[in-house]
Structure 1
Amino acid sequence: MSGRPSAQEPPAASRVGTERLVFADVLRTALVAMVIVHHAAQAYGPTGGTWPVEDPAQSEWFRPFYTVNAAIGLGLLFLLAGYFVPASCDRKGSGCFLRERWARIGVPMVFFALVVHLPLVYLYVDRPPLGEFTGALYESGWQGLYMHLWFLAHLLLYSAVYVGWRSLSGRFAGAGPPRRAWPPPDHAAVAGFVVGLALVTWVVRWWYPVDEWVPLLFVVPAEPAHLPQYVSLFTLGVMACRGDWLRRIPDRTGALWLGVGLFSAAAMYLLQGLAPELYVDLVAPGGFTGGSLVRSTWETLICVGLGVGLIVLCRRLFNRPGRLLAAMADASYAAYILHVVIVVVLQLLILSPPLPAVVKFALVAAGGVGLSFGVGHLSRGVPGLKVVLGTAPETPHRLRSLRPKG
């Protein structure tokens, strides 16, 4: 996406994994908080999917909120996760890297899917016959089983694919892992990526519209409509590591694309909120239509614009470590895993009071973020809980400063 790769890494790339990027901690923590807030709103508006709680208090203004969040949040988390994978794999070696990935990602995912989610979903759907229940889970892409932890399944899969690619590339090259350093993208490269991602997303949505889930490789939940974004941003994160993009991308590039992202997001809010009928006429969730192309392009502009812009903005504003920030960053992974149970409980607790949807949302969002990060922080001191949450102390050779956060 950024032109011809150089033969050697720039000196800055050697710092990846040996120095804490405070602004990356801030951005990752903010994105996890945004995911929690997104789910806090699920009970109070037209989500397009399913949610365990449906409150009588509803507001149409949450519709653009869902759309904008879905366009940027998890995609940028995939990019940040991919950014720290190459250096981690370099330090540990492929075998150790995959074992630690499984301990950190696979163990919590399997535990919560089978021990927590499965019984809850089975009871929620009124205990149907097991064969019928399992078939329904499969047809819905295992979404009821994994819930939000499908993100972890994808991280594990992408990490394994990366290790396999390194192994094959090194074998064909007759040397160690590839060391290409890609220079930071300029405006033309970012614009080209927007066009390419929008077109690929549009083509995928000819067959798989938004909110349709399938069992990828039979066991991993996937929403194909957003899969091009997730895969490409994880891949760009890997490339960004070699070129040290997070530190080197120019401020001017970030400023321009932040403006593009903010304008696109604001337009989404205004059109969906003030003229929902016109929005429905202009866009479509899928199919071989102009409306689907408009939505695919619009979402891509939000994703790429805010993605590039927020990285540079956080780098400019947040580059000093602090105890609170470090504690929240360290708790962010556990907060992501735990937050759905916390949010659903809070939504149920205020189900009866006749409060406006916005008030209920604000209460659940504030409580969900505070409790999720608080419990995540406290969990680091509980031996058994550290294992099932993937927050156990790392092996001595693994540097704490820039470890992947899932």
Structure 2
Amino acid sequence: MTSRVNVPLGNVRAVVILIVVAFHSALPYLASQPAAPYPFDAAPYRWVAFPIIDHERWFGFDLFCAFQDISLMSLMFLLAGLFTPASLERKGSLAYWSERWWRIGMPFLFAAGLLSPLAYFASYRETAANPSLTAFWQQWLALPMWPAGPAWFLWQVFLLGTLAAAMHALAPQWLAALSRQAGRFDERPFAFFVTLTALSTLAYVPLAMVFSAWDWTNLGPFGIQLSRPLHYVIYFFAGFAVGRRGCDRGILRSDGPLARYWLAFLAAALAGFCVWGGLTFLTMPDWSASPRLYRLAAALAFPPACASGMLSLLAICLRWLKARDRLLDSLSANAYRIYLVHYVFVIWLQYALLGLTLGAIGKSIIVFAGALAASWAVGAAVSALLPPRSAVPSEGAAVGQPQ
């Protein structure tokens, strides 16, 4: 297994964090949102996903956010798995797990315990009769859960990393077999797509049919989308299998067939999105009340749309982002810290712009630029205070962050 840095994959981290901030920046301006904000104290508490609702709307944001909802988080789980083997080999299971606790477990508690209520305070103020901090805190403590915001990703990555560390210590032959299977796809990206789609179908469709494609459940700060936990396991260990072979040998090498067929995967992603979107529309507005056949068709359309969307972004970055760039390097290096803090800036900027006479596109651009700049500055400031780390990629606490 090699430790050589794959420059396009570093640039993928930069692209992913840009998409994450853009995705959250656009949410108040979706044309599909209701006319009024969601009440803070009433189930099903949809303000957790849509903290601010603005009167300005643009349907293009619905398409953008729907496309990202299909594949963005799956890509992040794959990247997290991709960089795990190098770290496990270098440190061993126990040291790896200990560091994961400090780099993922503790930041999750910090983000959920402090940053999340700080961000959602703005959401509360949008509908509150008493907008004081004291009233908010009383309402917050009365909630049946403790919303963690985007930090939900961290506890799941920590759990999967713990599982990988246990397997590395107790059943290394399983991981070796997984890596050998990944080697079958080094020159066969379309076979990789088909296999990933098939495994995802087995993991996703039954849960989507039993629960729904959208519902979440929470135990305190631990949120989980009921249809996707096994789907994310598949993507994490698919990344792990590829990463264990080494990115310069596997399907994600910068001169490999995936990069050469970027246009084909982009076309597949657009086609898959259209099919998924059309079938999912048939299940609206109430998934559980729609005909079972429609739900099954929409659930079956998700895995190929997800796999093609994820692979298309990887292929584009492998093909067109081969060179190092100072800004992309900085964005990539600070991606994890940006992920941790950006939500606070996003929601408060959205709240501040509620009364501004400006179109949805203009507001979204302001939120995106302001939140990215502020969270990037915070990330860079924190980075400057930390001791230097190895440039060898590891599992990426979030969005494949190197360490």
Which residue is equivalent to 1:9?
none
Which residue is equivalent to 1:339?
342
The match for 1:136 among 125, 133, 143 is: 143
Q: Is residue 360 from structure 1 mapped to residue 363 from structure 2 by the alignment?
A: yes
One-letter amino acid of the structure 1 residue matched with residue 273 of structure 2:
A
The match for 1:41 among 9, 23, 26 is: 26
Q: Displacement, 1:283? A: 9.3
One-letter amino acid of the structure 2 residue matched with residue 233 of structure 1:
Y
Which residue is equivalent to 2:114?
115
Distance 2:97 2:348 in 1: 34
Ranges in structure 2 where 5+ consecutive residues have no aligned partner: 35-45, 399-403
Distance 1:177 1:54 in 2: 46
SS at match of 1:160: helix
CA offsets, 1:326-362, max 9 Å, x none? 1111111111111111111211221111222222122
Superposed CA RMSD in Å reads 3.1
CA offsets, 1:250-306, max 9 Å, x none? 23555433320122335667x59xxxxx93368974688222223223332222112
Q: Is residue 256 from structure 1 mapped to residue 264 from structure 2 by the alignment?
A: yes
Q: How many residues align?
A: 363
Distance 2:74 2:379 in 1: 23
Is the contact between residue 257 and residue 304 of structure 1 (CA under 8 Å) also seen in structure 2? no
Which residue is equivalent to 1:147?
149
Which residue is equivalent to 1:183?
183
One-letter amino acid of the structure 2 residue matched with residue 27 of structure 1:
V
One-letter amino acid of the structure 1 residue matched with residue 328 of structure 2:
L
Q: Displacement, 1:199? A: 4.7
Which residue is equivalent to 1:322?
325
CA offsets, 1:13-64, max 9 Å, x none? x21xx22211111112111111111111111123694232221223344333
1:150-169 maps to which residues of 2 (within 5 A)? 150-169=152-171
Q: Displacement, 1:92? A: 0.3
TM-score by length of 2: 0.79
SS at match of 1:205: helix
Which residue is equivalent to 1:312?
315
Change (3 A) 1:354 1:184: farther
Distance 1:71 1:64 in 2: 11
The match for 2:351 among 343, 348, 352 is: 348
Which residue is equivalent to 1:389?
none
Q: Displacement, 1:374? A: 3.1
CA offsets, 1:177-226, max 9 Å, x none? 7464321533244224324423532210123223321236x762100223
1:1-400 maps to which residues of 2 (within 5 A)? 14-15=1-2, 18-45=3-30, 46=32, 49-50=46-47, 51-118=50-117, 121=120, 124=124, 136-138=143-145, 142=146, 144=147, 146-170=148-172, 178=176, 180-181=179-180, 182-185=182-185, 186=188, 187-215=190-218, 220-243=222-245, 244-247=250-253, 250-251=257-258, 254-265=262-273, 279-280=281-282, 285=287, 289-381=292-384, 383=385, 393-394=388-389, 399-400=390-391
Percent same amino acid among aligned pairs?
Answer: 22
Farther off after superposition, 279-288 or 253-262:
279-288
Is the contact between residue 80 and residue 239 of structure 2 (CA under 8 Å) also seen in structure 1? yes
Which residue is equivalent to 1:402?
393
CA offsets, 1:74-93, max 9 Å, x none? 11011011011011101001
One-letter amino acid of the structure 2 residue matched with residue 263 of structure 1:
A
Distance 1:327 1:114 in 2: 28
One-letter amino acid of the structure 2 residue matched with residue 42 of structure 1:
L
Change (3 A) 1:263 1:281: same
Distance 2:20 2:112 in 1: 19
Is the contact between residue 81 and residue 234 of structure 1 (CA under 8 Å) also seen in structure 2? yes
Farther off after superposition, 46-55 or 256-265:
46-55
Q: Displacement, 1:136? A: 3.2
SS at match of 1:345: helix
TM-score by length of 1: 0.79
Is the contact between residue 169 and residue 178 of structure 1 (CA under 8 Å) also seen in structure 2? no
Change (3 A) 1:300 1:96: same
Farther off after superposition, 37-46 or 256-265:
256-265
Farther off after superposition, 25-34 or 191-200:
191-200
One-letter amino acid of the structure 1 residue matched with residue 376 of structure 2:
F
Is the contact between residue 249 and residue 312 of structure 1 (CA under 8 Å) also seen in structure 2? no
Distance 1:39 1:372 in 2: 13
